[in-house]
């Protein structure tokens, strides 16, 4: 309410901005898609609400008065704040509509998550679900920002992540193994193999990748001192799926989850570049928020904690 308990119409504020920017009542009315007489009434009504003239009508083009110049930046800030509030309110509504919110690394969202979720849904009615698929680092960010309730990712005892360091509750859902794979030659042998005199071309994970963190943390201790320095890294990416594509193209060898490449190995599209060695066992883990969650989220955690769920 303004002077005299007059209501304020938000349309008047947009009209004010249009006139301040054009300096012409007719042009501003066109911009606002209303008739000029109605537009002029809106500006006058706003001035009456404020209690002072905001435009000098004797000037050509129409100019802001001292009061109008003071009013304009504050009004723009107010309108921007209202728009931001609208966007955030809609986002909060959309987020709340999803009773379960997961972040899953790209490879597990493609391989493990759909099958596991189906197993959960056979035991528990979940309702709306929101799933975000990204790098391990991005998934950790979503959890730390409390934007998701659960994070599904690979893990290894020798390579703790930020969620481990922050002591988020975690369950081991299943196991996987990173296998060095390469496209085969015409005889079925790997084009890029480990254990040869020549340093193999390697397709590596980036810093944002959880699998990359695991490989960097354990490769020298598991495979021998200076093992990492003996490799020739020719390509780097966040996601195992992209490294798989590059491996299929014969660009190098990559340590990929068996859950991703089992079919490729069976069909011969990829070959084991380590002949059964140089493998890295990893966990498939589910992290949760430490604070209390929605009832359905707590029920899911309890179901998984019971250990009777099969993926």
Integer Cα distance of 244 and 231 in angstroms: 18
Q: What is the mean pLDDT of residues 59-83?
A: 92
Q: What is the pLDDT of residues 145-165, one digit of tens each?
A: 999 999 999 999 999 999 999
Which residue is listed with tokens 């990829």?
270
Tens digit of pLDDT for each residue in 191-203?
998 887 778 899 9
Judge whether residue 48 has pLDDT over 80.
yes
pTM for this prediction: 0.67
Write down how long the chain is. 311
Determine the Cα angle at 304 with ends 301 and 305, to 5°.
Answer: 80
For residue 206, the tally of other CB atoms under 10 A from its CB is: 14
Q: Is the dihedral of CA 98, 102, 107, 111 positive or negative?
A: negative
**Best CA proximity match to 296, nearest among 93, 128, 126:** 126
Residue 105 makes CB contacts below 8 A (sequence gap 6+) with 133, 134, 135, 136, 139, 152, 153, 154, 210
Measured CA to CA, the distance from residue 55 to residue 19 in angstroms comes to: 9
For residues 139 and 168, the answer to whether their CB atoms sit within 8 Å is no
């Amino acid at each position: 309410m303004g002077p005299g308990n007059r209501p304020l119409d938000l349309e008047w504020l947009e009209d004010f901005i249009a006139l301040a920017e054009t300096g012409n009542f007719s042009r501003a009315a066109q911009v606002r898609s209303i008739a000029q007489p109605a537009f002029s009434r809106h500006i006058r009504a706003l001035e009456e609400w404020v209690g002072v003239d905001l435009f000098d009508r004797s000037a050509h083009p129409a100019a802001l008065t001292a009061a109008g110049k003071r009013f304009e930046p504050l009004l723009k800030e107010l309108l921007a704040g209202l728009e931001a509030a609208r966007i955030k309110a809609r986002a909060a509504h959309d987020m709340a509509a999803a009773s379960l919110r997961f972040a899953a690394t790209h490879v597990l969202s493609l391989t493990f998550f759909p099958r596991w979720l189906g197993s959960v849904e056979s035991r528990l009615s979940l309702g709306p679900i929101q799933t975000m698929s990204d790098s391990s680092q991005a998934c950790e960010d979503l959890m730390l920002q409390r934007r998701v309730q659960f994070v599904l990712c690979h893990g290894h005892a020798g390579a703790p992540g930020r969620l481990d360091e922050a002591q988020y509750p975690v369950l081991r859902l299943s196991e996987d193994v990173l296998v060095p794979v390469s496209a085969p030659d015409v005889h079925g042998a790997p084009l890029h193999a480990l254990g040869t005199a020549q340093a193999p071309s390697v397709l590596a994970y980036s810093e944002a990748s959880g699998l990359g963190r695991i490989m960097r943390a354990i490769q020298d201790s598991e495979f021998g001192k200076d093992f990492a320095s003996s490799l020739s890294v020719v390509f780097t990416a966040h996601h195992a799926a992209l490294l798989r594509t590059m491996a299929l193209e014969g660009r190098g060898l990559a340590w990929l989850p068996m859950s991703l490449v089992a079919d490729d190995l069976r069909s011969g599209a990829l070959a084991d570049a380590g002949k059964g060695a140089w493998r890295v066992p990893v966990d498939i883990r589910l992290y949760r928020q430490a604070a209390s969650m929605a009832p359905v989220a707590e029920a899911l955690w309890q179901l998984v904690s019971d250990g009777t769920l099969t993926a």
